[in-house]
Each structure stands twice: as structure tokens, then as C-alpha cells.
Chain A
Amino acid sequence: MTGAGFAALLSHWRYRPLQLATLIVGLALATGLWTGVQAINSEARSSYARAAAALGQDTLERLQSKVGRPIAADRFVALRRAGWLVSPVVEGTLRLGRIRVRVMGIDVFTLPQRATPIGPSGNAGIADFVAGDDLVLVHPETAAALVDRDLNLRTSLQVAPGSLVADISSAWALLKRQDFDYLMVAPNQPDGLAPLSEIAPDLKRVAPDPQGDIARLTDSFHLNLTAFGFLSFAVGLFIVHATIGLAFEQRRTVIRTLRALGMPNRTVILLLLAETVFLALIAGLLGVVLGYFIAALLLPDVAATLAGLYGTSVPGSLALRPDWILTGIAIAFGGALLAVGQGLWRMARMPLLAPAQPRAWAMASLKNSRWTALAAAALLLTSLAMAWLGGSLLTGFLILGTLLLGAALLLPTLLILALRLGARMARSAMAEWVWADMRQQVPGLSLALMALMLALAANIGVGTMVESFRNTFTGWLDQRLASELYVSANSEAQAEDLRAFLSERADAVLPIRTTEVEIGGLPVFLYGIADHATYRNHWPLLERTENVWDRVADGDGALINEQLFRRGGYRRGDRLPVAPGWTEEIVGVYSDYGNPTGQVIVNHDKLMGYFPDIPKLRHAVRVPPEEASAVAEALVEELGLSPDNILNQADAKRFSLTVFDRTFLVTGALNTLTLGIAGFAILANLLTLSTMRLSQIAPVWAVGTTRASLARLEMLRTLALAVLTWLVALPVGLLLAWVLLAIVNVEAFGWRLPMFVFPMDWLRLLALAMIAAGLAAAIPVWRLARTRPASFLKVFVHER
């Protein structure tokens, strides 16, 4: 009995292959985008974990300067002589041609066993490593990018991508330094050691960091990606829900017959559940394959984004990992069961003789429209309340979620109201019918239209955010990169030559001095600047006290960046603990987009007085713009400076904007894919509804309307619904942009951006929405235009 019943239920799909394809493709698309995003996140996190585990940083304690200064070699020697098992490490970043690498110098003789970078997968031995031939270990992918560099490369999978591990002397040569950043502490120390405070009172013991700074910094980025993946999944789920709901109603006759023939309701429900699991397995596997390709396509851009935003290095190739594969299949099951849940619930309570009512199914949501509108109002009010209270990144995403869901639920009610208004203005019988018929179509199409609305709102919201960001960023770059050249020397001696060389050729040579300090437990970069019109006229200040520049010039105040200002909860006028025994009044706040860490700017001389060891190597050079290239060439040819040490303002801006644009390629791609899914949702709905439409259209045809006119009107209706949906999506998208700019960005990145609106982008999106809806309607309309009169006649003789 069970086998026969299952065969009867499954036969539905044989007669409706298009519906089956819609269901599987819908679920596979939803799963695919979700899985793609998860695969990207998984790859990135694995890379962070490797970086965090480099040299045992995730498990080993370390000693480092209390004020963020480098550690002199004599400190290391003193500790070793006192019996401390410590090993020195020097770290720094180096631009080698087109890539930036994190250089890590180690001393293999004192390196704790747990910290060794040379594991079984490496092909270099310790002997090679210290043989004096400047061997450097890199990940195979990094090696490929450095192949044209004059380096003795060996590959090791133990080394994180983007990192370079070398013996400390080689690292010193690369970084042009002679000191250490920290000392690793071996886990088992001898008994009776002299306390650290006696041997090296300027050092402190720091606990291991199992997560790593990078993972923490990039959390918000990955949360953003996950939110996008979930939005795409939700949009795809609308297709699945619509298709499964209709299939349930269409099969009521079969189910009624099965039950009348003695099959228990429970068995029928279990069979339908088994069918769902089977279909979800197929769609889930397809989705995972699709997700792999999506991730592989997007990963290079994500890697570029992460490198641009956070300076992290993620491999551009994708590995198959069980976590995202299993999550993908699980979410396909979850989605399918969620979509089928309502149908099964109704089935469990359905009387034996309940008639099949596919049309009633389509109209059911209309009956519930009051409740739906109430739920929508409640969600929107919740969103408003949370925006009022604010507070965290999670709140930001909850605001986005409730706003989008509330707006989606409100959409059918708004459309029906708009169509009623339109009907009142209709003057001809045909116009009256078109408006009324559109209104009647809304319940059946509402899920697809909700999907379209979500996709459009996400496009408008994210597009507005990105363009606002780009506008602000471009203006900010002009202010921030006011100097024509940025030049670094390799040594103090070369720096002196450089200053002498430029004194006659440049309008001004402005020193840039920096060191890392810790404020409120977080690493902060402390800059010293000279008093100059370059800063007074251009520096992008968000808040300022009176005579702000005079006060900085007098050493009577500090400027801080927006990130530190917001994360530290400071106010203008507060005193900032710059370093032990040194506080400064906050006299101004400046915007600092794209920088994940805090920054403080103080007077140059005051900084150098407090930190006299800061290398005096970096300079901003003011020259007439038309002479910038000639001066740069002269620095290379006459002074022998490496081109890598000179950054031209124009190149820097171009590079920054390129990084910026690549950063948002991923969101752009996800936006387009989501819109594509919404288009498919409309197609799926129109195709499934087209068979039911015949009985509504046939009477109009019978009283004297041509099939061509009816087809044109059908297309017009779909386009009009797309336009109305766009009209609703517009304010929702702008609200979304506001939440992203004013709440999510502030919480995730620490900066707030002004909001700009771009009406031409809205119109472009309207055109895209109409193209998507038009393409989706094309097949059903084409079918209607070619419907043979005999098909219309069936409506009139049906069930005779």
C-alpha cells in the first residue's frame, strides 16, 4: 500500500516537470548562494587560524614592551643569562612588488618546539634554514607571487599565506632593523627564575591569543557576507514555499482518494515528508556544487577585499571542507522542511472530503492579509524601537532583519491599496478589468513579489551605502593624501641625505613619525606631525575645538581618529592616556576610512621627546604637482633610492580607489545574483499560475478581445507589478542604507558616513527590475499569445 501510495504522490511531478524543476532549481539556488558564502568564510577563517597559530602565538605566552617599543637585543641576552627560556621574534610588513607580506624573523636555536614553522609538510630542514644562505619559508601561493624576487624561497604549508618566515638575521636585513618585537616564552621554564620585573622591568608578560587579531578584525566583514548569504537564501526560499504550497493543493484530489481508499493520514504525511527529504537531498547536493563554483568565482575578490580592508592574506583558491558542505545540505533540508511545514500542518488537520482548491490556495493569503499587515506593522515598530535604542552590531542586523521582513509582509497590502486606487481612476471597461485582475493576481504572486522587493531593497540599500562610501572616500583621499610624494629612507643616514637632497627641490619636507602604543587595551598608532599648512588646510576633521591646529602645534592636545573616538567612547575635551605618564586633551577627531585600528596624532617634537628611538625614516614631500614625477625620478637616479620607497600621490589615490572598488565587487555580485533569483521566483510563480489564469482570461477573450491584446496586457500587468514593487522597495532600500551607514558600519568598522542618494542608480535598478520581470513573464505571455482557441473553449465546457 505504501509503495503504491508513494508512486501515486510522486506521479504528480511526472505530469508537472516544470514545477519539479522550479522546486529543485529554487532550492538549489538558495542553497548555492548560502553555501558559496559559507565556503568563502570557511576558507578565510582557516587562513586566519593558520596565521594565528604561526609560531605558536595561539598557545605560547610572550614578553613585549609595556609601551609598544621594540625590544633591544641586550634585553634578550639578559633574560637568557638569567635562565629564562625565551626566543626573539621580529615582525614587520614589507611591500614586495605587487604584494605585501608579513615578515617574521625567528631564532631557530632558541625557538620553543611548539613554535616551529617547519612541519612534516615542509621540505626544508633546520640545517638549511640556518645555513646562512638567507632561506625564507613561504606558503606555496605566496611563493608563486614572489618568484621573480631575489629570495631563496622554500615552500611550507605550515606558513600562512602572505607570511614569510626567515632566520632573524635575514629578517633584519629585509626589514632593515636590529631589534625584536617580542620574545616567545617556552611553556616549561626552569625553577627559581628571577622575576621579570628585576631583569626587564619595561617588559610585560602577555597571554597567548587563540583567536588572533585578524579573526577579530574581520568578524564584522564575515558577518556582513553571512547576512547577504542568508538574504539570498530567504529570497530563494520564497520560490520553494510557493511551489510546494501549490503542489500540495494540486494533489489534494490524489490525497483525498488515497485516504478514501484506506491509507491513514499519518502515512500520507510521512510519505510527503519522505518526498521532501528526497527532493531536498537532490537540491542540496546541486546547491553545494553550485555554491562551490560561486565561491571559487568570488574568492579572489574577497581575498582582495580582505587584503585591502584589513591587510590579511587569504588564498585565492578554494578547498573542499566538510563544514560548509554539510552545512549546505543541512540548510537545504531545513529550508525545504520550513517550506513544507505549513502544508503538512494543514494536511494533518484536513477533513477527508476537503475539495482541491488551487485557486483558493492562491487567494488564501488575501484572507490573511489583515493578520499579515498587523504582523508587518509589529515588525516595523520593533525595528524602529531597536534603531532608537541601538547599541551593537547584532542589534544592527536585527534592525535590518525586522525591517526587511516587515516590509516584505506589508507589500501585498500596499500593492492592493495602490491597485484599488488605480481602479478608481480607470475610465474604460478594459482598464477596469486590468486593474481588478492585477489586484486578484497579487495573492498568488505575493511571494515572488516579496522576493523581488527584498532583492531590490538590498540593491538600493547596499548600492547607496557603497556609493556614499565612495563619494566620501574620494573626497577624503583628496584631503588626506595632500602631499605629492611619500618617501621612506632605509636608514637614518639615508634619511639625512634625503632631507638635504630635498631641501632645495621641495616646498616642504614633513616628517612622519609613528610608534605603536596601547590605549584602553587596544593597539593604537601614535603619529607625530610638524605644524604645516598641509595639515591645517586639508586634514579631514569631523570635530574640532577652537584653534585646534595651534594647540597641536603647541603640544597641547591630540587628534584622534573616528574609530578610536567611537570605540573608546571619548568626547571632545576628554583627556587621553597616550602613554604611561602622558595624557593629552582630545582637541579634534578626524575621519580615517578603511583603517581598522585607532590612531592618535600629536606634536612631532613632543612625540620624539617621549620616544626618542623612533626611526626618522618617513617623509611627506610637498612639491608643485607637475614636478612630482621629476623629483621622484631624481630621488631614484641621483640619490639611489629604491622605487619601492617612493609613493606618488596620484598612484596612491589610484591604488586606494582600485582597492575600494574591488572591495565591493563581492557585494555587487551577490546583489546581482539575488536579483536573478527574484526574477526566477517571478518566472516560477507566473508559470505555475498560468494554468489557473486561463479561466480568468477566457471570458474576456470570449466577449471580443484578441489573444494578442490579452498577451500584451499580461506583460503590462507583470511590468506594472514590478514597478509598484520597486516603488515600495525604494523607501525600504533607503532605510536599509541608513541602517547600514548609521548603525552597522559604526559598530562594525567604527566610522559613520554621510548618506548620499543616487536617483540615476534607482532608475537603472528599475530598468533591471523590469527586464527581470519582463524576461520572467516572456514565456507565460508567449504561451498565452499562442494559446489555441480550443484551450479557451475547455474553460467553457469544463466539468460538463
Chain B
Amino acid sequence: MLLALRDVRKSFTTEEGPVDVLKGISLDLDAGQHLALTGESGSGKSTLLHLIGGLDGPDSGEIKVAGADIAHMDDPQLAALRRGKIGLVFQQFNLIPSLTVAQNLAFHARLAGRLDPDWNAHLTERLGLAECLHRYPEQLSGGQQQRVAIGRTLAVRPDLILADEPTGNLDEDTGDAVIDLMLQLVADVRAGFILVTHSTRLAGLLDRRLHLTHGRLQ
């Protein structure tokens, strides 16, 4: 089992009082399995993804990634987990603006100490980024930036890839092209994959679909 969640709960404190965002989530994901997570705005999709990615901690419950309970990990342990086992793709791309495309593509893999130049060259080729390796992110289109973000994640060959609305900032055609490419490459690295999306059409492309509503999975 790559990922196992048991009765995960999370609430946030607002001016109006505490809001329960996740109300006892349990789910399993096997290695190489692809899961689409859908739900309305504010349903807790991103929060769930952040908890799985070790970006935030649950109030209670158990989150195991490759057998390790991350709910009780400290900051350095979580950082090591994100560096080596988890890949993140965000809607905002979140590239490092001061580094070139080539440096961004290799950044995560180099941090994890597992840069494979051949694999990187292959990814560059597949993602169609060979022409813009020396450019900076601000000089790229939205679609190109998202392809760099996907390449950066795949370069490290993580066990689990988490994508939060990766096509949310792209038009439909570009978004479809990016998601197709992403699914192919995810399959190549045989990683577990969770895609958070509003789109039922995109969700239909994946092995499993779960709908999150009012903090509960359906």
C-alpha cells in the first residue's frame, strides 16, 4: 500500500469560529494507481492534498506514505519525505523565478540527490521544452510553465505525485494536452497519482474517482 489515510480530521479557526474542513477521511491508494478527487470549491480537496503531501498536519487521524506515518513527523522528516518520495504540481506552477528552465527542471532531483541526465533529457524532449531551456519562467507561456513544473516533479521519479488543479490556469486545449502528457509520464514512472480537479471530464480519464463534499468522501 502506497498511501493509507484513517479517519483524518482537519479544522481551521476563522473569525466566525472553527470550521471543520475534513471530517474523518479514510482512503487507500496502491502504487501506480491513479485517483481523481473532485468536489466543489471549499470542499477540502486542496487541504486533503496538502495533508497527504506533508505540507500541513492533520488535527487527528493517521496518514501513512509508503508505510511511514507522516502525521507525527517533524519538520526535517517531512522535508525529507517531500524531497524523496512525493512530487507536487500546483495550479500556480510555483516555479523558481530566479532559475532558468533547465535549472528548474533539475532542481528537485538534484535536491533529492538523484538527478539522471538521460531521464531529464528524455523528459525535456517529451515535454517540448528543448527550445526554452535557457529562458526564465517569466518568459514562458502558462502552458510551458506548467510543463516545466510537471517535468521538475517527474525528474525525481517520486513514489506519489499530487497535482492540485494543474490545468486550472490554462485554456481547455492546452489543459487537455498537458494532462494527457502528464498521465503518460506518470505511467512511465509507475507512481501513484492523485489529481484534484473541478472537471468531471478530466476525472473520467483516471482509474478511480472520489467526490469530496462537506469534508466527507463519497
Contact of B98 among A436, A704, A706, A800 (CB under 8 A): A436
> B45 → chain A, closest Cβ, in Å?
10
Complex: how many Å from CA A426 to CA B110? 13
Chain B residues within 8 Å of A433, by CB: 96, 98-99, 103, 107
A429 touches B164 (CB 8 A): no
> A437 interface residue, CB < 8 Å from B?
yes
A705 touches B79 (CB 8 A): yes
B165 touches A800 (CB 8 A): yes
A437 touches B98 (CB 8 A): yes
Chain B residues within 8 Å of A428, by CB: 110
Known contacts A696-B98, A796-B94; A703/B111 CB under 8 A: yes
Complex: how many Å from CA A430 to CA B107? 8
> B117 interface residue, CB < 8 Å from A?
no
Q: Which residue of B lies closest to A427 (CB)?
A: B110
Q: What mask results when residues 685 to 700 of chain A are scored 1 for a CB within 8 Å of chain B, else 0? A: 0000000000010111
Complex: how many Å from CA A19 to CA B112? 39
Q: Which of A151-159, A466-474, A787-795 contacts B (4 or more CB under 8 A)?
A: A787-795
Complex: how many Å from CA A797 to CA B168? 11
> B147 interface residue, CB < 8 Å from A?
no
Complex: how many Å from CA A702 to CA B112? 13
> A440 interface residue, CB < 8 Å from B?
yes
Contact of A696 among B88, B92, B97, B110 (CB under 8 A): B97
How many residues belonging to A are interface residues under a CB distance threshold of 8 Å?
32
Chain B residues within 8 Å of A796, by CB: 46, 50, 55, 90-92, 94, 164
> A432 interface residue, CB < 8 Å from B?
yes
Q: Which residue of A lies closest to B106 (CB)?
A: A429
Chain A residues within 8 Å of B96, by CB: 433, 436-437, 696, 699-700
Q: Which of B14-37 contact A (CB under 8 A)?
A: none
Q: Which of A456-472 contact B (CB under 8 A)?
A: none
Q: Which residue of A lies closest to B153 (CB)?
A: A703
B75 touches A706 (CB 8 A): yes
> A98 interface residue, CB < 8 Å from B?
no
Complex: how many Å from CA A425 to CA B195? 39
B168 touches A793 (CB 8 A): no
> B19 → chain A, closest Cβ, in Å?
13
> B194 → chain A, closest Cβ, in Å?
15
Complex: how many Å from CA A799 to CA B108? 25
Chain B residues within 8 Å of A705, by CB: 79, 83, 111
Q: Which residue of B lies closest to A789 (CB)?
A: B56
Q: Which residue of A lies closest to B41 (CB)?
A: A800
Complex: how many Å from CA A436 to CA B53? 27
Chain A residues within 8 Å of B41, by CB: 800
Q: What mask results when residues 196 to 217 of chain A are scored 1 for a CB within 8 Å of chain B, else 0? A: 0000000000000000000000
> B95 interface residue, CB < 8 Å from A?
yes
B55 touches A792 (CB 8 A): yes
Q: Which of A685-729 contact B (CB under 8 A)?
A: 696, 698-709
> B190 interface residue, CB < 8 Å from A?
no
Q: Which of B59-103 contact A (CB under 8 A)?
A: 75-76, 79-84, 88, 90-92, 94-99, 103
Known contacts A705-B79, A793-B55, A796-B164; A429/B92 CB under 8 A: no
Chain A residues within 8 Å of B82, by CB: 702-704
Scoring A705, A709, A792 by chain B CB atoms within 10 A of each residue's CB, the highest score goes to A705
B46 touches A797 (CB 8 A): yes
A704 touches B83 (CB 8 A): yes
B81 touches A793 (CB 8 A): no
> A69 interface residue, CB < 8 Å from B?
no
> B215 → chain A, closest Cβ, in Å?
17
A439 touches B98 (CB 8 A): yes
Contact of A699 among B50, B81, B95, B103 (CB under 8 A): B95
Q: Which residue of A lies closest to B165 (CB)?
A: A800
B103 touches A432 (CB 8 A): yes
> B165 → chain A, closest Cβ, in Å?
7
Complex: how many Å from CA A45 to CA B57? 69
A706 touches B111 (CB 8 A): no
B79 touches A432 (CB 8 A): no
Q: What mask results when residues 415 to 444 of chain A are scored 1 for a CB within 8 Å of chain B, else 0? A: 000000000000011101100110110000
Chain A residues within 8 Å of B108, by CB: 703-704
> A364 → chain B, closest Cβ, in Å?
14
Chain A residues within 8 Å of B80, by CB: 704
B92 touches A795 (CB 8 A): yes
B112 touches A790 (CB 8 A): no
Chain B residues within 8 Å of A798, by CB: 92
Complex: how many Å from CA A699 to CA B153? 12
Contact of A789 among B55, B76, B94 (CB under 8 A): B55
> A431 → chain B, closest Cβ, in Å?
10
> A702 → chain B, closest Cβ, in Å?
6
Complex: how many Å from CA A428 to CA B110? 7
Q: Which residue of A lies closest to B82 (CB)?
A: A704
Given contacts A433-B99, A707-B75, 10 further A-B contacts (CB under 8 A): A429-B106, A440-B98, A699-B94, A702-B90, A706-B79, A789-B57, A790-B56, A799-B92, A800-B91, A800-B168
Can you list 18 A-B pairs with a CB-CB distance of less than 8 A?
A: A429-B106, A432-B99, A433-B107, A436-B96, A698-B94, A700-B96, A702-B94, A703-B82, A703-B108, A704-B84, A706-B76, A789-B56, A793-B56, A795-B92, A796-B46, A796-B55, A796-B92, A797-B46
A-B pairs, 4 with minimum CB distance: A704-B83, A429-B110, A436-B98, A704-B82
Which residues in A have some Cβ–Cβ distance to B below 8 Å? Answer: 428-430, 432-433, 436-437, 439-440, 696, 698-709, 789-790, 792-793, 795-800
